[in-house]
Amino acid sequence: MTGFFMTIDWARIGASLSLVVAAGALGYWQHAGLTGDLVIATVRSFFQLIAIGYALELIFAQDSLLWTLTIIVVMLAVAAYTSAQRGKGIPHAMFITNASIGTGAALTIGLLVGLRVFEFSPRYTIPIAGMVIGNSMTTCSLVMARLRDDVLAHRNQIETALALGATGKQAVTPIVRRAVRAAMVPIIDTTKTVGLIKLPGAMTGMILAGASPMAAVQLQIIVMYMLVGATAFTGLAAAYFTARVFFSQAHQLVLPPSVQQGADAA
């Protein structure tokens, strides 16, 4: 453990921390009310990253399938819980987030391994799973929150469509499409402009680590396409599962008080 901490360049980390201090000072000066959250986020991220770094050192050394799957399950659980908080008020939110993020991650990682893009080993699988699950979590949160808010906002239109004989699926389809489209816009815009506006994390990390730019570009292309697939799978799954909880088997709109409360609290 001591040797592990000695490999950290504390001077560089301390220098980069000055940017966080500057951000906190600006927030305090403008009375933005973000100083406390910024301090907590900074401290948490430091200890969380140190802990996962140490854990990955051990897991990579053991090359254990069990530990690899354990880490992925923990990632999924934390992502599902976090996303469910963004979907406050939605019935069965934890089930939706677990099913949606799990579907996106399983399909994406399964295809990457099955097509031999990456081999199933801790060194490749865990970082890839982290990127996939992290982006899937954001997509799931966006879809759930947008669907909840739009169903409430268009309640009269939905009930009118139902009264005219539409099924629950038909009545909510336009709202589902808008929610999925809105959740996909960030990753699509990023994919359109990658290399022109910014050099993403995977590419930048490899270049800073000494890899050739072309090797970094190859990995970044794979990562971008991987994330597009993951967000698409997760977004569609989240839209499907979320839309279903708003209708009874008789195709009646069901909006318990918790839905309005969740929207108000968001």
| 139 lies in the same domain as 245 | yes
- For 148-194, write each residue's pLDDT tens digit: 999 999 999 999 999 999 999 999 999 999 999 999 998 999 888 88
- For 118-153, write each residue's pLDDT tens digit: 888 888 899 999 999 999 999 999 999 999 999 999
| 114 lies in the same domain as 164 | yes
Residue pair 110/128 in contact (Cβ under 8 Å)? The answer is no
- For 237-253, write each residue's pLDDT tens digit: 999 999 999 998 888 88
| 150 lies in the same domain as 85 | yes
Q: Count other Cβ atoms within 10 Å, centred on residue 237.
A: 22
Q: How many domains does the chain have?
A: 2
| 55 lies in the same domain as 86 | no
Backbone φ and ψ of 194, nearest 5°: -60, 135
| 57 lies in the same domain as 157 | no
| 166 lies in the same domain as 187 | yes
| 72 lies in the same domain as 51 | no
| 30 lies in the same domain as 72 | no
| 155 lies in the same domain as 237 | yes
Q: Residue 14 belongs to what domain range?
A: 1-62
| 10 lies in the same domain as 99 | no
Residue 62 confidence class, pLDDT cut points 50, 70, 90: confident
| 206 lies in the same domain as 166 | yes
State yes or no: pLDDT of 4 exceeds 60.
Answer: no
State yes or no: pLDDT of 98 exceeds 70.
Answer: yes
Residue pair 158/151 in contact (Cβ under 8 Å)? The answer is yes
Residue pair 152/263 in contact (Cβ under 8 Å)? The answer is yes
State yes or no: pLDDT of 36 exceeds 90.
Answer: no
State yes or no: pLDDT of 24 exceeds 90.
Answer: no
pLDDT higher at 16 or 261: 16
| 7 lies in the same domain as 112 | no
Find residue 71's DSSP bridge partners.
none
